[in-house]
Structure 1
């Protein structure tokens, strides 16, 4: 099974920090137990063993009557006490308590003679209270010799054999680990804030806006990225101003001689002298003007236009009426659409290009339909032509791409569908094609009811082409 790593930088850094803290805590605990706690227990067991051997020697050297009297003053028993049961699922604190107990008993047994046995009797939570009212405690039983007979004596337990200090150390260590993780989380969130601002600014640039400059007073690495982004947006802004000036110059410098050329033809060839030549010349001039307009439309594609709330069905109805006046009847299937924000001139250009393509290449079965699909307004322009297939039209959305049947319509430059695609993407929408059931083609435009670059109440913004 493939390990799935966290995707975000925040979650990855937190996971790495948790792993490093956990590893450091485990290593620290291993060092504490092996090099600190175990030597302490060993030293305590040696001292305790000396006391036990001294007590055993003292009881064994007494006369039998005095030995039995001395043993009676201690807590003794003649039979072996029950062995402490092994805990099936000990808690973390119980684990270290039992570990210290086992280490202490094992070390004590090593430093005692073989006939002096050691056994630990563990009390339970429900143990009967002692006679003096105190709760029953764990006891250490050692087999000694008194009056020549073996007896089991309960001896007091040293503090080194208990887990009082280690439990506190574990709690403190866990608290410090949580504090380190929480501090790392806050630091990473602080680092991620400029990254989120950078992502939002990049989305605004892709939507055609010019975002305000990003702050450059954060960490050095983030500040360098923000500074580079600010320089990029400034360069794009200057390029847009240069392009706008160039487009204005091209429009003026080319259309002015075209107008003069039309006038010169009209003056050089009086009406009736050579009507075929005049018509052919004017047709070529119209084609040049159309191509020039397509270049201008593609270069602009509505980025400078402000979003406005409007009724898409009303706009479509006006275009259907205009085409009907030119002799091209479209069946309009009007769906229910709410008023939403879009660029009316750009969307009108989008629909006109699609409808003109349907007239040029479809000719029959012209249909346009609107409907709402969730948070998206949809428009279909369909025809019953037998021209280019839908999968071929996807290629023609690239600029300057023309189909095989475009030679019969020489008034364009291969930018019509590219303009439609660009306007749709400007609104956060899409343009797709599909084969129409029963023959023909359908161009499907989807526009979001809440465009990504729409401001409050359709407020304008400074766009980028």
Structure 2
């Protein structure tokens, strides 16, 4: 079984987060809208654009034809020069050996050719390049002579979709940038709420979330702020109640202890009552330990190597325990030293009670500590294991539940069943990882992985 409170979000979860989903959805919507808009404009503007360009070509050819036809022969050279310099129109004789390339291949050209031929004659020819000179070339006749009229391409607009593509690209880029900004603004309140929730889960008191923006965000942040305040009040009330319970229960126990000492009882009866009183006191202590919060604000740099050695040395004094240690030097982590020591003591006590081998009255307990990884991935791994019979695999999950004992432990029950539940609660408060499994060779192994300094 593995119980874990993750230290950070992975890259894969980040990429599959709401920001990227919103960004891609807005990007897809923008691209689809842009494609539909360009297609619609192309269809709507096709006929008017064909009519306009055809009329322009027909007008230029007709005026040029009339000017050349009605001008005096000695003035034609000067007229051709004026057409070139002022209007960008060139006229060349059409020769049989001219190298002619076909007109531009676009959606408008076939309809332009059809309309122009209807006005200028079916023998009108078109070309995009004649004798290596690029332009918009159209032929016309003067009497029995044929001529080429060349217009500069800038005079004929809209024959290609390059401008449409350029504008569409610019608008698409701006739209994607806008989608990124919108996604960031939409997800910012959620990121703040997620961070505040994570801090609160780790025992920190988050800053109040801003109650502004859309009504849904205001209500969510207000509800979260109220929840934090109410839970803090509950926590404070619980601390007062637990302190009162500790005082109110242990005071009668102390009086009972004193009365037993003064009473005229046999040694056997006195020892039995003493045992019951100690058991009741231990159960009260377990309840208080389970209910006690672990504040992240109390965390300090804890030398886990030294703490484990001290704890192992103290446990080795017990007559029915034999401790074996393999503790690396320099294992340090942020935490509450008292709570971590309580966790290790609970694990040792759990192993002492239930980790005996059938043929021995002494419990063999191994305590190991190692440091793995480097830099941000550096971890301290603590292991406490016994050499007993272990736990049936299908019942391991039950071990960490409060007030739960397995059948094998019921006959020797002298607690409330909170030992491992306290361990799990403290480990989670420290942002660590807890694993419980059977040890190879027999026994139970409990492993705690903490972020190292």
TM over 0.5: yes
Name 1:397's counterpart in structure 2. 400
Structure 1 segment 109-188 matched on structure 2, within 5 A: 109-114=117-122, 116-122=123-129, 127=132, 136-142=133-139, 144=141, 146-147=143-144, 151-156=146-151, 161-163=156-158, 171-172=166-167, 174-188=169-183
Distance 1:86 1:78 in 2: 18
Q: State the partner residue of 1:380.
A: 383
Classify the secondary structure of the residue corresponding to 1:365.
strand
CA 1:240 to 1:50, structure 2 compared with 1: closer, same or farther past 3 Å? Answer: closer
- 1:21 alignment partner in structure 2: 30
Task: Give the equivalent residue in structure 2 for 1:130.
Answer: none
Matches of 2:411 and 2:14, distance apart in 1: 57
Q: Deviations over 1:217-243 (max 9, x none)?
A: 333332222111111100111111111
Q: Among 80, 105, 108, which residue is 2:113 paired with?
A: 105
Equivalent positions of 1:329-348 (< 5 A) are 329-348=322-341
Within a 5 Å distance, the mapping from 1:19-418 to structure 2 comes to 19-46=28-55, 48-49=57-58, 74-79=91-96, 81-84=98-101, 98-114=106-122, 116-122=123-129, 127=132, 136-142=133-139, 144=141, 146-147=143-144, 151-156=146-151, 161-163=156-158, 171-172=166-167, 174-267=169-262, 269-270=263-264, 273-300=265-292, 302-303=294-295, 306-327=298-319, 328-363=321-356, 364-374=363-373, 375-389=378-392, 392-418=395-421
More strand by share: 2
The alpha carbon displacement at 1:289 in A equals 1.3
The 2-side partners of 1:371 and 1:157 are apart by 81
CA contact (8 A) 2:327 2:368 kept: yes
Q: Do 1:320 and 1:329's aligned partners in 2 also have CA atoms closer than 8 Å? A: no
- Tell me, in whole angstroms, the C-alpha distance in 1 between the residues paired with 2:115 and 2:57: 10
How far apart, CA to CA, are the structure 2 residues paired with 1:26 and 1:211?
46
**CA offset digits 1:108-164 (Å, max 9, x no partner):** 2344443x232213269xx4xxxxxxxx341423253633xx635335468663349
Residue aligning to 1:131: none
Retained in 2: the 8 A contact 1:337–1:371? no
Distance in 2, Cα, partners of 1:49 & 1:334: 97
Q: RMSD of the TM alignment (CA)?
A: 3.5
Aligned residue number for residue 88 of structure 2: none
Q: Structure 1 residue 257: deviation in Å?
A: 1.7
Give secondary structure in 1 for the equivalent of 2:369.
Answer: strand
Q: CA deviation at 1:427?
A: 1.0
Q: 1:176 to 1:437 in 2, by over 3 A?
A: closer
Encode CA deviations 1:388-441: one digit per residue, 9 max, x unaligned.
245533321111110112123221111111111111111111222233233222
Q: Given that residues 384 and 441 in structure 1 are in contact (C-alpha distance below 8 angstroms), is that contact kept between their aligned partners in structure 2?
A: yes
Q: How many residue pairs were aligned? A: 415
5+ residue gaps, structure 1, are 88-94, 128-135, 451-465
**For the structure 1 residues 9 and 76, does the alpha-carbon distance in structure 2 shift closer, same or farther, using more than 3 Å as the test?**
same
